[in-house]
Amino acid sequence: MIKALVIAPYEGLIEIMRDIDVEDFEIHTALGNLYEGVEVAKQYEKNGFDMIISRGGTASLVQEVVSIPVIDIQVSGYDILRLLTLVKGFSGKAAIVGFPNISQGASTICDLLDLDINTLTIEKDHEVEEKLKSLKNDGYEVVIGDVVTIETAKQLGMNGVLITSGKEAVMEALDEARRVFGLFSELHKEVSLYQSIIDSDERLIGVMDRKGKVICSNKRFENAFSREKIENSPPILDIVKNTSSTLQKKMVTVENQLWHLTTNEAEERVILYMEKAFPNQSQGGIEERKEYAIDVVTAVPHFLLTGKSEQMQEVIKQVEKYSRMDEPLWVIGETGTGKDSVAQSIYLKSKRNNEPFITINCELLKEGQISDLIEEQFFTNHAEGVVHLKRIDRLDVRAQKELYHYLRNETDKLPRLIVSSKDELRMDEGDATIDHDLFTLLARLIIYLPPLRERAQDIENLIPVFISEFHSKYGKQIVGVRQDAMHELKEYDWPRNVDQLKQVIEQLVLHSNSYYIEKDAVLSLIDLLKQRPKVEGDGSCTIEVSGSLKDIEKKIIQKVLEEEEMNQSKAAKRLGINRSTLWRKLK
């Protein structure tokens, strides 16, 4: 049995590994891209794994820090061909940017299929940003590549599409793993023997090179210290530097504790034997994280604002124009139209994008918290950044008036204020949802986001973007939507707008077993959306209990799905069943 750790740079690779049934492997999976993957490898290497399987740059970095074999999942021609087929549905110019193992094969396939997709080759990571900036200046909107490439693309306001590995590439990597395991199995047995010998010693044993890097250690050593702590300990580094071939004994302080340390040199390595001089001190607990109504972030994810409709093209133009201004901006639209995405896009395109982006969710603020923020000079303390007052219409009118008087009279510099609310605003005295004076002060610029039902033609632009996102999350190989299925999606009125469309596409991607989303699957899911539970006058939901037990069961499932906003994972958890059982019961 081969014990292998798969470090996946993206979630979808984990999903593919879960679907693969191989009898001669014990496969464990962990998520981690590049240096995150390196930390995962360091953490898991000591758990007796025979090898690590990863992909691309993550595999290369992991290879440098572990002593076990690392297998690289290669990008196959099938992977590139599937992605190129998907990208044909995108609007705008597209380019492939990657290392030679990606770009050379992609270029050949583009030539064979007569696809107008530019292909650029990079040799080092630091070349990515320069290449992408050049492409953006030339009008390119879509960039295809590995994780580093798409993350850089999103930072630059471009749409990044990840080249994912299909099942074929994973199976080839497992074949390579079997071959490597055969070569290293005998060596592994010998190393394991030596490791068991030093693990049985009562002392802490570590081996370091002359530069102070830990080469190997026993379990007691690893449990007592992280390698980084030892490698950055001045007393230890000084001893290692001056150790000779004869045994040397000293007492050192490491992490506020005294240790008896014995060292000697062996083949340009220094062996450390450590024993406690005094018992360990007690360790404090870790404080639990709390959720707050105020969110301060410095790395905002990019969402591509897309759509060919006149309404959406006007929104895109407004975002470009208003991002260069500092006046307060009000974003209005129904629930799910993408108000958060507009606020984030303006921030990312503004000159303030190196400062924090702060969201104050007015719906979550408790009574008196606006007063607290004003007293603590919260707004002036973050004057260089952008503050998004989300759902300001949910703030009570008294707090709105207090906020108005503060902002009107504040003489110090204020942050860029972006306000968002639903489109149903009432300003009449006695029945107001928004203070008239506050609206006049903060609505100097207005962006109105139309509901999706009024711009159905944008659905064709949105769906490929969502598919590409879930493509990497779930490891699916979907390349598009059948025309008859697309027709049904465009005919639905989408009461919760873009957010609801994204949820539906996620479910369709998750449960699709072919390269295209089919009409039957779309109709089944839309039928569930239309069958909402009945609501009585007191606001309580009832379920009609007529019909067979199977019919009643289906109605219960539909009600739970509605309450969980069509998220089948959450619904299945509430019902105590798995997703596949849920899907089967709904057919």
User: Which of the listed residues 276, 308, 328 is the one where a domain comes to its end?
Assistant: 276
Clarify whether residues 367 and 249 are in a common domain.
Answer: no
Structural domain containing residue 211: 201-276
Separation in Å, CA 374 to CA 275, 337, 377, 386, 402: 56, 30, 5, 16, 9
User: Which of the listed residues 73, 88, 108 is the one where a domain comes to its end?
Assistant: 73
Give the CATH number, domain containing residue 144: 3.40.50.10660
Q: Is the pLDDT assigned to residue 493 strictly greater than 90?
A: yes
Contact criterion met (CB below 8 Å) for 252 and 258: yes
User: Looking at residue 258, what is its pLDDT?
Assistant: 56
User: Looking at residue 330, what is its pLDDT?
Assistant: 96
Give the DSSP H or E segment for 389: strand 386-390
CA-based Rg of the chain, rounded to a whole angstrom?
A: 29
Q: List CB contacts of 9: < 8 A, sequence separation 6 or more.
A: 32, 33, 34, 37, 54, 55, 56, 57, 58, 146, 147
Clarify whether residues 54 and 86 are in a common domain.
Answer: no
Clarify whether residues 6 and 29 are in a common domain.
Answer: yes
Give the CATH number, domain containing residue 357: 3.40.50.300
Averaged pLDDT, 364-379: 84
Clarify whether residues 427 and 298 are in a common domain.
Answer: yes
Averaged pLDDT, 334-343: 93
User: Looking at residue 544, what is its pLDDT?
Assistant: 55
**Per-residue pLDDT tens for 28-37?**
999 988 888 8
- Tell whether 428 is covered by a domain: yes
Q: Is the pLDDT assigned to residue 540 strictly greater than 50?
A: no
Clarify whether residues 27 and 126 are in a common domain.
Answer: no
User: Looking at residue 58, what is its pLDDT?
Assistant: 85
- Tell whether 179 is covered by a domain: no
Residue 577: exposure state from Cβ atoms within 10 A (0-12, 13-18, ≥19): middle
Number of domains present in the structure of the chain = 5
Q: Which residue, 461, 1, 38, 193, is CA-closest to 30?
A: 38
Clarify whether residues 363 and 396 are in a common domain.
Answer: yes
Clarify whether residues 222 and 268 are in a common domain.
Answer: yes
**Per-residue pLDDT tens for 184-208?**
877 767 777 788 888 888 889 999 9
Give the C-alpha separation, 572 to 587, whole Å: 15
- Tell whether 458 is covered by a domain: no
User: Looking at residue 279, what is its pLDDT?
Assistant: 39
3-state secondary structure of 11: helix
- Tell whether 218 is covered by a domain: yes
Clarify whether residues 298 and 445 are in a common domain.
Answer: yes
Q: Is the pLDDT assigned to residue 290 strictly greater than 50?
A: no
pLDDT grade for 411, boundaries at 50, 70 and 90 = low
- Tell whether 432 is covered by a domain: yes
Least confidently predicted of 109-123, 156-170, 307-321, 333-347: 109-123
Higher pLDDT, 276 or 151: 151
User: Looking at residue 456, what is its pLDDT?
Assistant: 93
Residue with tokens 């995405």, as numbered in its chain: 341
- Tell whether 477 is covered by a domain: no
Q: Is the pLDDT assigned to residue 359 strictly greater than 70?
A: yes
**In this prediction, what percent of the chain has a pLDDT beyond 90?**
30
Q: Is the pLDDT assigned to residue 578 strictly greater than 90?
A: no
CB-based burial, 146-169: b 16+ in 10 Å, e otherwise: bbbbbbbbbbbebbbbbbbbbeeb
User: Looking at residue 280, what is its pLDDT?
Assistant: 35
